Structure 1
Amino acid sequence: MTERNPWLTIVGIGEDGPAGLSAASREAIARADWVTGAARHLALLPDLPADAVPWPAPFADGIAPLLARHGSNVVMLVSGDPFWFGAGSVVTRHLAPDEWVAHPAPSTFALAAARLGWAIEETTCLGLHAAPFERLRPHLSQGARAIVLVRDGAAVAGLARYLAACGLGASDLWVLEALGGPRERIRRTQAAACDFADILHPVAVALEVAGTGAVLPAASGRPDDWFAHDGQITKRPIRALTLSALAPRPGEMLWDIGTGSGSVAIEWLLAHPATQALAFEADATRAARARDNAAALGVDRLHVIEGRAPDVLGGQRLPNAVFVGGGLSDALLEWLRTTLPHGTRLVANAVTLESEALLARWHGDMGGELMRIELADAAPIGTRRGWRSQYPIVQWSVTL
C-alpha cells in the first residue's frame, strides 16, 4: 500500500459535535494549523486549537483558499459522509491521492434509515440541496421510498407542493431535522397537508409514495404524452426500436442530432444514471422544449446545443453512439464517418423517399443493418374497424 502523507484531512461531523468524532478525527483536529467548514460545523467545535475560517458561499469560492494552504495541516469539516452527496469529491478532484485523507461520520441517509427502520439498499437516496425536485420523477412509483436531502424548511414545502402537483399528495412525509444531535426532531405528515413553519436546519425528508398520479414507465418507448412536442417526435414504437439499436450502456455519451422534442436523448439518459447526452437542434423553440422535457423527467443533465449539424458538432465531446433523427444528408453522414472514432454506433431513421434512398446507398457502401418498419393502428371504418397504416420508417444502424 502506498504511504500517505496528507496535508488535508476531511472530517465528517454530525449534529452531536465532538461526541461523535472518531479518535483519528480528534487527532487531526488537535494538530491542525487551519480549520475550515460551514459556520454551523465550526460552531459545533467551539474550542478549536487552530485558526478557524468559515467556508464561503458559493461553495466553489472556497477551493482556491484551501489549495493555498498546501503544506500546512488543514482540516475541512463536512456533514456526515463526505463522499455521499457531500463535498469530498468536489475538493479531492483538485488533489493528488496522497494529499488527503477522510474520516467519515454516519450520513444523514444512514441516520434516517435507522430511525425509520427502512432498508437503505431498497431506498432511493438523493441530494437536492441545489438540484430540482424533478430529479425524483423517475423514482416516483406506488410504495417507493426515498430519503432526500434539501436546503431548508422552504425546500421541504416546495417538495411537498411538487409531489401534490404530480398527483401524489397522499404520499407520507417524514421531516427529519438535525438528526443525531440534541435538536433532533422527526415529524410525519402527508405531502398535501405539509404546513410546518418551524423546520430546523439541517433537514432531510423521507417519503413513501402514494396517490393517483401517473408513474413514469421504466422501459424505453414511454408514451408520447410524457413529452411536450409539436409533432416533431420519434413516436413510441419507433423510439423503442431506436433505443434498442442505440443500446445505451453505463457511462456512454449520445449525440442526438435533430432532437426535436428530445425524446430519444431523454430515454437514453433514463436508461442509466451514468449516461450522458448532447442534443443538437436548429430550431430554437424546439431546443427550449427539449430542455423543458428533460428537466420535467428528471434528466436535466441533457445538454441541448442550438445550431445545424454538422456545423455545430466540432469541438464537442465525442460520442459512443449517434442518432440522426433530423437533418439527414450526405454531408452529415460523411462528416460523421470521417470524424468519429472506430466503434461509434450510428443509427439513422428516414421517412421520405429521398432519405430512404440515401440510407440504402450508405448501407450498400458501409454495411450494417437496414430495416423497414411498418406499423398500423386499428381505426374506425364506419361502424367497423380496420387498419390505418402509419408512414413506414427505414432505419439504418451501423458500427463505424
Structure 2
Amino acid sequence: MADRTPWLTIVGIGEDGFAALPPVSQAALANATLIVGATRQLALLPTLAGETQAWPVPFEAGVAHLLERRGTPVVMLASGDPFWFGAGGTLARHLPPDEWVAHPAPSTFAHAAARLGWRIEETLCLGLHAAPLTRLRPHLAPGTRAIVLLRDGAAVVATARYLDEQGFGASRLTVLEALGGARERIRSAVAAALPFDDIAHPVALAVEIAGDGRVLSRASGVADDWFAHDGQLTKRPARALTLSALAPRAGETLWDIGAGSGSIAIEWLLSHPATEAIAFERDAVRSARIRENADTLGVDRLIVVHGDALSMFADRPPPDAVFIGGGLSDALLDALFARLPPGTRLVANAVTLESEALLARCHAARGGHLLRIDLSEAAPIGTRRGWRTAYPLVQWSVTL
C-alpha cells in the first residue's frame, strides 16, 4: 500500500453507547465506509453514513472479509477495551501496526471493580467467553477474588454449578449485567444457591472464593491423585526434581516425550500462563487420559500428539526444553541432538538398567548432570512400620 494511513479503526464501545464515546471515536464512525461489530453493539449507534455489518460467528470467519476492505475507512466495534480479552489482539495479528489504530473505552473489568470497590491489581481477571470453566481450577482457593467475563446467563449458572461441584459452593457471586448502560443490573448470591434465571448479556461474574474444596498447590510436585493414570506416572517427589531441572520460564515451550499421564507437561503449564507444552504419547488410551487430565486441571492449552515422537516432531518449531519420560533410546537421543538448537534443556529419567546405562554413556560423552534418586516411604509391616523402597530413578539433565 502506498498510503500507510491507518484504514482500520478499532473502537471500544460501552453499554452507554455512541454519545459517551470520545470525539475521536465518533469521528472515525462518522467517516467510515463500513462499520462491523456484534449486533448488540451496532444497535447502540445512531444512523450513520457507512454500511453496517454484523460480525459472524465464529470470530475468525469475519477476518478475511474485513481484509478485503483494506485501504478504505473501516471501523471495528469491540466491547470496552479491545485488547483485554477483546477483538483487538486477534485483528492486530493480521495487520502491521501502521494500518490500524485503536480507541479503547473502559473495560468491563474497570466497571466491575468500580462497582465492587476491588483493586484490579489484586483481582484475577479472566475471559471465558469461549473457554472452558475448568480454567478456573488452578485459582480456586479461599480468599481469591476474580472477575470473569462469560458468554451468557447459562454460562453464569454453569459456573455456579462448577464451583459447587468443586467444593466451593459457599463462594459469593455478584452477577454484573450490561455495566455502564441503562440496563445495568447487579445482583449477588452464593454459588450453591444461585436463584437467577433471567441473566442478560453482556455479563460478568465477580467471584469471592469460599468453601472447603481442594486447593491445587502452586509448588512443583502436586499430589499424585490429581492425575488419572494407569501407573505410568512420574511420582510427586521425582516430578518436583524433574521440573526443577527443566526450569520452566514464561513464554517457553516443553516437549514431553512418552508423556504417560501428562503430569510433567501439565505442571509445566501450571507454572506460568505464558508457557506452552506438547505431550507426545504413542498409546491411544494414555493420550486420551492426558487430554482429560489437562482439561480437568485448567490447562486445556496442552497439545496432545498421539503417535511416535520421532515421526511427529520433525516439522515442529524447536522447544526450549525436552523431557523424556518414556521411549528412551539411542535413536531418540540422536534425533533430538541433531534437531535441537544450542541452549535447549533436556532431562531424561530412567528406571531400567538398560536405560540407566544409556544415560551413563550420554553423561560421559556429553556432560550435564547425572542424579540418582532413591525414595522410600513408610509402610505397614504387620503391626509395625518399615521403609518401602521404590525403584531407584536415574535422571540426566543437560543443556545442549
Aligned partner of 1:137 in structure 2 is 137
Q: CA separation in 2, counterparts of 1:81 and 1:87?
A: 9
Alpha-carbon distance, 1:180 to partner: 0.2
For 1:248, the aligned partner's letter is P
CA contact (8 A) 2:177 2:204 kept: yes
Shift of 1:277: 0.4
Letter in 1 for 2:181: G
Provide the secondary structure at the position in 2 that maps to 1:72. coil
Equivalent position of 1:171 in the other structure: 171
Contact (CA 8 Å) 1:157, 1:195: kept in 2 or not? no
Report the secondary structure of 2:310's partner residue: coil
In the alignment of these two chains, the number of paired residues is 398
| Equivalent residue, structure 1, for 2:320 | 320
Residues 182-239 of structure 1, C-alpha deviations (whole Å, 9 max, x = no match): 0000000011101311111100100000111100000010000110001000000000
1:20 Cα deviation after fit: 1.9
Give 1:363's aligned amino acid. Answer: H
* Contact 2:227 2:261 (8 Å CA) reproduced: yes
Q: Distance in 1 between matches of 2:86 and 2:338?
A: 42
CA contact (8 A) 2:221 2:240 kept: yes
CA RMSD of aligned residues (A): 1.1
Counterpart CA distance in 2 for 1:319 and 1:182 is: 50
Within 5 A, what are the aligned runs for 1:1-400?
A: 5-400=5-400
Tell me how far apart the structure 2 counterparts of residues 4 and 346 of structure 1 sit (CA, whole Å).
Answer: 46
Shift of 1:31: 1.4
- Residue-by-residue CA offset, 1:267-311 (whole Å, 9 max, x unaligned): 000111111001000100000000110011110010010112312
Structure 2 letter corresponding to 1:288: A
Deviation at 1:105, TM superposition (A): 0.3
Which AA in structure 1 matches 2:299? V
Cα shift at 1:338:
1.2
CA contact (8 A) 1:283 1:306 kept: yes
TM-score by length of 1: 0.98
In 2: Cα distance, 1:128 partner to 1:315 partner:
32
AA at the equivalent of 2:278: L
One-letter amino acid of the structure 1 residue matched with residue 253 of structure 2: M
Q: Which amino acid aligns with 2:378?
A: A
CA distance in 1, matches of 2:88, 2:145: 26
Q: 2-side partners of 1:64 and 1:257: how far apart?
A: 37
Checking the alignment, whether the CA contact within 8 Å between 1:20 and 1:105 is kept in structure 2 is: no
State the identity as a percent. 69
Structure 2: runs of 5 or more not aligned: none
Using the TM superposition, give the Cα deviation of residue 49 of structure 1 relative to its aligned residue in structure 2, in angstroms. Answer: 2.3
Alpha-carbon offset, residue 390 of structure 1: 1.0
**Partners in 2 of 1:319 and 1:74 — Cα distance?**
39
* Aligned-partner Cα distance in 2 for 1:318–1:195: 50
1:4 Cα deviation after fit:
6.7
Give the secondary-structure state (helix, strand or coil) at the position aligned to 1:206.
strand
The residue matched to 1:234 in structure 2 has which SS?
A: coil
Contact 2:18 2:46 in 1 (8 A): no
Structure 1 residue 244 displacement after superposition: 0.2
Task: After TM superposition, give the deviation of residue 315 of structure 1 in Å.
Answer: 0.8
In the aligned structure 2, how far is the partner of 1:274 from the partner of 1:313?
Answer: 21
The alpha-carbon deviation at position 157 of structure 1 amounts to 0.6
Query: Partner letter of residue 104 of structure 2?
Result: P
1:58 is displaced (CA, Å) by 1.6
- One-letter amino acid of the structure 2 residue matched with residue 27 of structure 1: A
TM-score, scaled to structure 2: 0.98
